[in-house]
Amino acid sequence: MKNVLKAYWPSLCHHRYLLMATIGLMTVNVVLSTAYPFLLRELLNAFTASGSSGVSGIGHTMMLIVALIAASNVAWVFFDYFIAMFESLMMRDLDQRSFSAIQAQSMRFFESSFTGSLVKYATRFRNAFEGIADALFFQIGRSFLLIILTLIIFVYERPVIALGFSAWVIVFMGVSMYCARLRFPLDAASAEADSVVGGALADSVTNQVTVKSYGQERAEQRRFGGVVEKAFLKRKRAWMIGIFIMRAQGIVVSVFEVLLIWWLALGLMEGTVTVGDFVFFQTYVLLLMHQLWDFGNMMHRLFQRLADAKEMADIFALAPEVRDAPGARSLTVENGEIEFHAMSFGYSHRETHARHAVRNFSLRIPSGQTVALVGPSGAGKSTVFKLLMRCFDLNSGYIRIDRQDIANVTQESLRQQIALVPQQPELFHRSLRDNIAFARPDATEEEVMDAAKRAHAWEFIQRLPDGLATLVGERGVKLSGGERQRIALARAFLADAPILILDEATSALDSKTEKLIQKAIADLLKGRTCIVIAHRLSTIMKMDRIIVMEEGSIVEDGDHLDLLSHNGTYAELWAHQSGGYISA
């Protein structure tokens, strides 16, 4: 719960004046509501009075009641406006901060998180605030003020009632808060299970092509049904306990109401209580009973909303694994020389128990050189470029670009100097123009078109009815594999970065398109430092240098002909290729 309140605090401080105005208007409304029973008692006493004084008293009291109702309505209008503005601005602020908090996390966080769950965390965190604000400022805060004012009035009017009521209120509120705190872990478990459901749903929907390809719809339905059933049981337990608590509170409220009516009725029969007094106290008690009943319900809802916000609040409290060093400066690249020195890194996934590492890896890539990394699956090729982009921090050693340690520069400036074309391109559900221009949002239309032409993507783009405005679907599902690859290449052309990483960038292209694009890539490589992750050795024969890796270490270094002549690991890989690919 502490993390939740801490996560909301910066936004509350940012809108503190609006919050103070809202609380002030709520206080005005409470004060006005406590005045009504006084006027109602005066009106009843005026009705029972005889003569002209009773008639004039009725008229005077009615005018006050009308004025009170009018003032109350005006205050409520302003209160509704201010709380609507406050909650709307807060929710906008929370959306932006949640996005920033998630985006600030490092690669390992995303590798171990469900996308659907993260979306649900952020959505629930935002929506939970509305419930928390309503509970605290509109219900619990209002109830607290009303109870304090009413107790003051009771002390002045009937100290005996005030004493009994005070004891009862303390017990009732204490028990309500205790019960709500007991339920909090159950609500947190229910919210966590709900996030698992969202993650499982997103995971299955994202992979529906695979599900349908293997005819596993029923198996997925059963698997998802099991996840939903677990969430249902946790939710049911939390709700059933909540219902029991609310019913128990209802009984306690009813008992107090009956006892008060009995006491007032005795006083009425004995003449110590007037009809006006009876209505006066009963009106206050009914008002308070309603508020206390709401208080009990709101305490449960408050802790439920706090539980809903807990997962996102934990992310706010989670420090990113990879952070900019204090005083980190921007990376400036003039030549593009890369140096890996005695680099070691290892990481494991608890879910898969898989381990990938590089060990004592040292490599210097001069400016403008094109280097290919080859080796069997798990050799550490992809890990090298992830470390270069500082997706993870090294266990030992260092990486320098133009003699600047990447650990001492900002992550943003580092990655802006590197253009990556992955084997499986990631596209946004946006237009082709937006996807290409993602590398340089300020690029002109002509620059975007030129990049598309250089990547040989313009051929299929101009055939589309909407051209560059065509939406590609989630993850580019509306495009073929080759088309997605060419859009990723166009993005790299537009980035015009001094360092280029190609993860078998032409693997999804047909042979005709591949031949066309190889020359364009060759032009792109001029004057740039390039690392190629190779799965087809035929694509790297003309590279300046080939680095052969095994189990995270360099075992061979040279060009194609030199490595073949050594008759070592590279020659073995070349001999065992099947269809141009390295055999696993």
What is the SS3 assignment for 478? coil
Whose tokens are 């990631």? That residue is 426
The H or E element containing residue 529 is strand 529-533
Whose tokens are 């309503």? That residue is 134
DSSP conformation letters of 24-54: HHHHHHHHHHHHHHHHHHHHHHHHHS-SHHH
- pLDDT tens for 322-332 read 999 999 999 99
pLDDT at 371 over 90: yes
- pLDDT tens for 442-455 read 999 999 999 999 88
CB distance 532 to 499 below 8 Å? no
Residue 1 CA to residue 297 CA, distance in Å, equals: 19
Whose tokens are 């059963």? That residue is 222
What is the SS3 assignment for 410? coil
Name the band, by pLDDT with cuts 50, 70 and 90, for residue 17: very high
The H or E element containing residue 184 is helix 159-206
CB distance 132 to 302 below 8 Å? yes
pLDDT at 499 over 90: yes
Which pLDDT value is given to residue 510? 64
Q: What is the mean pLDDT of residues 52-57?
A: 56
pLDDT at 214 over 80: no
The H or E element containing residue 91 is helix 52-103
Q: Taking the model in full, what pTM does it have?
A: 0.75
Extents of the domains making up the chain: 2-317, 338-575
Which pLDDT value is given to residue 329? 93
Same CATH fold assignment for domains 2-317 and 338-575 = no
Question: How far is C-alpha 107 from the geometric centre of its chain's CA atoms?
Answer: 16
Residue 100 CB neighbour total at 10 angstroms: 10
pLDDT at 172 over 60: yes
Which pLDDT value is given to residue 287? 73
Q: What is the mean pLDDT of the chain?
A: 82
Lowest mean pLDDT among 190-194, 421-425, 520-524: 520-524
CB distance 173 to 249 below 8 Å? no
pLDDT at 365 over 90: yes
Which one-letter DSSP state was computed for residue 558?
E
Name the band, by pLDDT with cuts 50, 70 and 90, for residue 414: very high
- Select from 3.90.1150.10, 3.30.70.360, 3.40.470.10, 3.40.50.300 the CATH code of 338-575: 3.40.50.300
Which pLDDT value is given to residue 352? 43
CB distance 138 to 298 below 8 Å? no
Q: What angle do CA 527, 530, 532 make, to 5 degrees?
A: 150
pLDDT at 301 over 80: no
Provide the b/e sequence for 361-389 (b: ≥16 CB within 10 Å): bebebebbbbbbbbbbebbbbbbbbbbbb
What is the SS3 assignment for 548? strand
CB distance 32 to 75 below 8 Å? yes
Residue 560 CB neighbour total at 10 angstroms: 17
Residue 409 CB neighbour total at 10 angstroms: 20
* Alpha carbon distance, N-terminus to C-terminus of the chain: 49
Name the band, by pLDDT with cuts 50, 70 and 90, for residue 242: confident
CB distance 82 to 25 below 8 Å? yes
Cα radius of gyration rounded to whole Å, the chain: 35
Question: How far is C-alpha 151 from the geometric centre of its chain's CA atoms?
Answer: 44
Which one-letter DSSP state was computed for residue 539?
G
What is the topology classification, in CATH, of domain 2-317? ABC transporter transmembrane region fold (1.20.1560)
- pLDDT tens for 509-565 read 666 666 766 766 777 777 789 999 877 787 788 889 999 998 889 999 999 999 999
What is the token pair recorded at 350? 């608890």
What is the SS3 assignment for 341? strand
The H or E element containing residue 551 is none
Q: What are phi and psi of 314, to 5 degrees?
A: -65, -35
Which pLDDT value is given to residue 354? 47
